[in-house]
Amino acid sequence: MCGRFTITVTMDELKDYLSEYYDIDDMKSDFVLPRYNVAPGQDVISIINDGSKNRVGLFKWGFVPSFAKDEKIGYSMINAKSETLQEKPSYRPSLEHKRCVILANGFYEWKKEEKRKTPMRILMKDKSIFPIAGLWSTFVRPDGSKLHTCTIVTTQANDIVSDIHDRMPVILTDETRASWLNPRITDYKILTNLLKPFDSKKMYSYQVSSLVNSATNDLKECVEPI
């Protein structure tokens, strides 16, 4: 699974990234950066394609299906397995029509070692921002207000992550990112074929402080190597 991640960049670095890779030049200014310990229930920086252009905004992390009876269900739907997306009534409509990418430059997993769990951070060797495959949904509350939420799609771990955990977020390449965001692609087979483990040769991991165990700690010390 993926329960925490980072996006430890400045606003200027994010603007440059969005302009270069997504042709987005009208970024909103209400993003809080850098983030050292992004947790479920918080807003995450996400990108969708509206059919003509890419758009960036915030989704609440924790998927709430449009037909849900209680929005609290989102806390149990922070991840969605790539292998079963088309089988799940909650995710199937979003797989076809509401796909997004969630921006990060690292994620945390806890390595089980005898009686303890050691927090590890996994990232690219060049420490770059990367796009995670996501699904989003809109839930209408009883008062008529709308809640936009998302989930992170996961897949089997690659060689770097498998020593820590058996699952990892689906990290998209330049090619698969474009296809995942393309609203004209609706074929399940094409879409699920995009959801593969990322090349482990481009990634590395290191141990971090137990500070990351608490979502209240969004500190630079969370990403410092132990």
The predicted-structure confidence for 130-166, as pLDDT tens digits, reads as follows: 999 999 999 999 999 999 999 999 999 999 999 999 9
pLDDT of residue 1: 75
Residue 223 inside a domain? The answer is no
Decide if 222 is inside a domain: no
* Residues 108, 19: Cα–Cα separation, whole Å: 27
CA distance 86 to 108: 27
Task: Give the whole-angstrom CA distance, residue 2 versus residue 109.
Answer: 7
Mean pLDDT within 222-226:
97
Closest C-alpha among 149, 155, 151 to residue 169? 155
pLDDT of residue 114: 82
* Residue 119: domain span: 4-209
> CB–CB of 89/96 below 8 Å?
no
Q: pLDDT per residue over 193-213, tens digit each?
A: 999 999 999 999 999 999 999
Confidence of residue 30 (pLDDT cuts 50, 70, 90): confident
The torsion angles phi and psi of 78, rounded to 5 degrees, stand at -85, -20
Cα gap 113→111, rounded to integer Å: 6
Quote the pLDDT of residue 147. Answer: 98
Does the pLDDT of residue 115 top 90, yes or no? no
Q: How many domains does the chain have?
A: 1
User: Does residue 190 lie within any of the structural domains?
Assistant: yes
Evaluate whether residue 101 is within a structural domain: yes
Active site residues: 2, 109
SS (H, E, C) the chain: CCCEEEECCCHHHHHHHHHHHHCCCCCCCCCCCCEEEECCCCEEEEEEECCCCEEEEEEEECCCCCCCCCHHHHHHCCEEEHHHHHHCCCCHHHHHHCEEEEEECEEEEEEEECCEEEEEEEEECCCCCEEEEEEEEEEECCCCCEEEEEEEEEEECCCCCCCCCCEEECECCHHHHHHHHCCCCCCHHHHHCCCCCCCHHHEEEEECCHHHHCCCCCCHHHHCCC
Per-residue pLDDT tens for 82-112?
999 999 999 999 999 999 999 999 999 999 9
Residue 85 lies in a domain: yes
Domain assignment present for 173: yes
- pLDDT for 113: 85
Domain-embedded: residue 220: no
In a domain, 217, yes or no: no
The CATH code of the domain that includes 49 is 3.90.1680.10
